[in-house]
């Protein structure tokens, strides 16, 4: 009950700061953020929201996003929805005074639309919008990937220990059932995101995993169930959307309910069977082969580059292109070898923040922020450290990337030596990734390598930041007993950019960050 009261209290604290229930047009949440559609953005008190203990930060995109962290957001959202509903029921209908000019709902909507369009235009490049759609397709699947991945790890541990032999087959079925049908879910979400009927997208994608395709020949070879995987499902569902829209334009309304779904499944299904499955299968195989080749032949260098560049990729919104790659690798090999390397970016962030703590012994404001944010950073929730400490300061963000590079190089080196380290799901990072680890040389070896990478990332991020993260001017300005606001750094070369990910690793959950010109500059 105490937990429920805490979540309700958090929701109750947030509601008036976003303009009350009447100002909330829509409510949703992803892995870490409460996403609100608002009628009037000017009614939001940003600073008061950021000051709430449960709020890690705010993001402005298509929706107003309040970062609460994994687990917390899923519990606060239902309470918030309940409070909004209560507020709307209790709100009296406004009666304009005689002779007063009443503001119409249409005018308020127009004002809100203008504000929304202005914000959206900042990142509305076609490529980033496409990547955002891709992310929105896969992000809803992450909870199932995490749950099934942990069950798979538990089942594997029991098999290795030869414990509970009667239970392990059941665990294997639980862990594998979702992955066997993931193409259907991808097809459903793809059609929804591209403006089609979700169930038709799922129906076409289901062809890919149907066992009966083993009786069909295409391009001189017999098809196999699952060939093409999530990439084939994505392509099939997009095709289904375009066929459906074409049918809506040309099929008479009286026949639409019969003809449109039939033609959509028939045309898209035939193209999927006799084209997309083969092409997507070749692409999927190429992705797996390239990932294995890259880490086998240039693991240390590749890990160094991937670990060092991941945070900038997140800022540019380009990390979303990795989501289907992760999913394809998990589908093919049972784990993605890229995620443990990319997770090292979070380790570099933790090391950098720790160095900032020691370099600013007189600035209790920043030190207090770091003390409260470090536990979350260790568990892979990086927002508080990223845009509460390193990004506003500027140069520590760069040294955090250095830490991520060395951690990634460490994990990549062992991949090159033959010790593969992978994750059975996407989403978590930091210490939270330990239950999802898998590899080719036993769980103990895999855990040791990943833990070693985290330690290297922590140490490299700390050393780089401690010795190179501060210019004399910045150190003199912030190493004082007062509590200056980090936002003042913007005037000296840093920026206060929008948050990036739920952790120093993938995420898959949100929209692209600021444009390259908005990236934080090193403060001299």
Q: Which residues neighbour 34 within 8 Å (Cβ) at sequence distance 6 or greater?
A: 14, 27, 65, 66, 68, 73, 76, 77, 80
Integer angstrom CA distances of residue 45 from 60, 88, 107, 476: 13, 20, 22, 31
Torsion 446-451-453-456 (CA) sign: negative
Tokens representing residue 84 in the block: 């909004």
Backbone angles phi, psi at 513, to 5 degrees: -85, -165
Query: Closest Cα partner for 390 from 380, 382, 453, 33?
Result: 382
Please confirm, yes or no, whether 148 is among the known catalytic residues: no
Q: Residues 124, 406: contact at Cβ < 8 Å? A: no
DSSP 354-422: HHHHHH-TT-HHHHHHHHHHHHHHHTT--HHHIIIIIHHHSHHHHHHHHHHHHHHHHHHHHHHTT--EE
Q: Residues 341, 422: contact at Cβ < 8 Å? A: no
For 229-264, letters b (16+ CB in 10 Å) and e give bbbbbbbbbbbbbebbeebeeebeeeeeeeebbebb
Tokens representing residue 112 in the block: 């809100």
Per annotation, catalytic residue among 30, 148, 247, 401: 30
If DSSP states are collapsed to H, E and C, what string results for 105-118? Answer: HHHHHHHHHHHHHH
Catalytic residue IDs: 30
């Amino acid at each position: 009950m105490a937990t429920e009261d805490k979540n309700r209290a958090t929701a109750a604290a947030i509601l008036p700061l976003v303009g009350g229930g009447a100002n909330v047009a829509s409510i949703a949440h992803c892995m870490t953020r409460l996403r609100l559609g608002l009628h009037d953005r000017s009614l939001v008190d940003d600073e008061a929201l950021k000051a709430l203990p449960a709020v890690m930060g705010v993001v402005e995109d298509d929706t107003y996003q309040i970062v609460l962290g994994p687990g917390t957001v899923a519990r606060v959202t239902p309470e918030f929805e309940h409070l909004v509903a209560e507020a709307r029921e209790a709100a009296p209908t406004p009666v304009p005074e005689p002779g007063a000019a009443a503001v119409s709902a249409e005018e308020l909507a127009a004002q809100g639309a203008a504000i929304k369009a202005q914000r959206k235009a900042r990142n509305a490049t076609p490529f980033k919008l496409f990547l955002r759609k891709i992310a929105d397709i896969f992000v809803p699947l992450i909870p199932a990937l995490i749950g099934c991945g942990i069950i798979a790890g538990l089942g594997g541990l029991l098999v290795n220990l030869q414990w509970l032999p009667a239970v392990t087959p059941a665990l294997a079925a639980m862990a594998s059932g979702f992955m066997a049908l993931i193409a259907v879910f991808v097809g459903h979400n793809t059609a929804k995101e591209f403006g089609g009927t979700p169930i038709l997208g799922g129906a076409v994608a289901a062809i890919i995993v149907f066992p009966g395709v083993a009786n069909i020949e295409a391009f001189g070879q017999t098809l196999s169930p699952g060939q093409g995987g999530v990439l084939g499902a994505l392509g099939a569902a997009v095709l289904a959307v375009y066929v459906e829209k074409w049918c809506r334009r040309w099929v008479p309304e009286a026949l639409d309910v019969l003809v449109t779904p039939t033609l959509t499944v028939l045309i898209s299904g035939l193209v999927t069977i006799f084209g997309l499955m083969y092409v997507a299968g070749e692409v999927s195989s190429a992705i797996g082969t390239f990932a294995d080749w890259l880490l086998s032949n240039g693991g240390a260098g590749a890990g160094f580059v991937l670990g060092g560049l991941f945070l900038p990729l997140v800022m540019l919104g380009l990390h979303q292109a990795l989501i289907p790659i992760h999913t394809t690798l998990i589908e093919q090999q049972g784990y993605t070898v890229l995620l443990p390397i990319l997770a090292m970016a979070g380790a570099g962030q933790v090391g950098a923040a720790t160095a900032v703590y020691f370099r600013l012994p007189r600035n209790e404001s920043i030190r207090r922020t770091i003390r409260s944010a470090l536990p979350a950073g260790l568990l892979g929730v990086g927002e508080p450290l990223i845009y509460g400490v390193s990004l506003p300061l500027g140069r520590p963000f760069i040294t955090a990337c250095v830490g991520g590079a060395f951690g990634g190089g460490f994990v990549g080196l062992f991949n090159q030596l033959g010790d593969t380290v992978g994750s059975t799901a996407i989403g978590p990072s930091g210490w939270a990734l330990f239950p999802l680890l898998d590899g080719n040389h036993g769980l103990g070896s895999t855990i040791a390598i990943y833990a070693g990478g985290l330690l290297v990332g922590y140490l490299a991020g700390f050393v780089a930041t401690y010795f190179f993260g501060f210019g004399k001017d910045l150190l003199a300005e912030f190493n004082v007993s007062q509590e200056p606001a980090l936002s003042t750094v913007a005037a000296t070369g840093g920026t206060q950019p929008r948050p990036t990910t739920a952790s120093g690793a993938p995420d898959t959950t949100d929209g692209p960050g600021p444009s390259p010109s908005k990236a934080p500059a090193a403060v001299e």
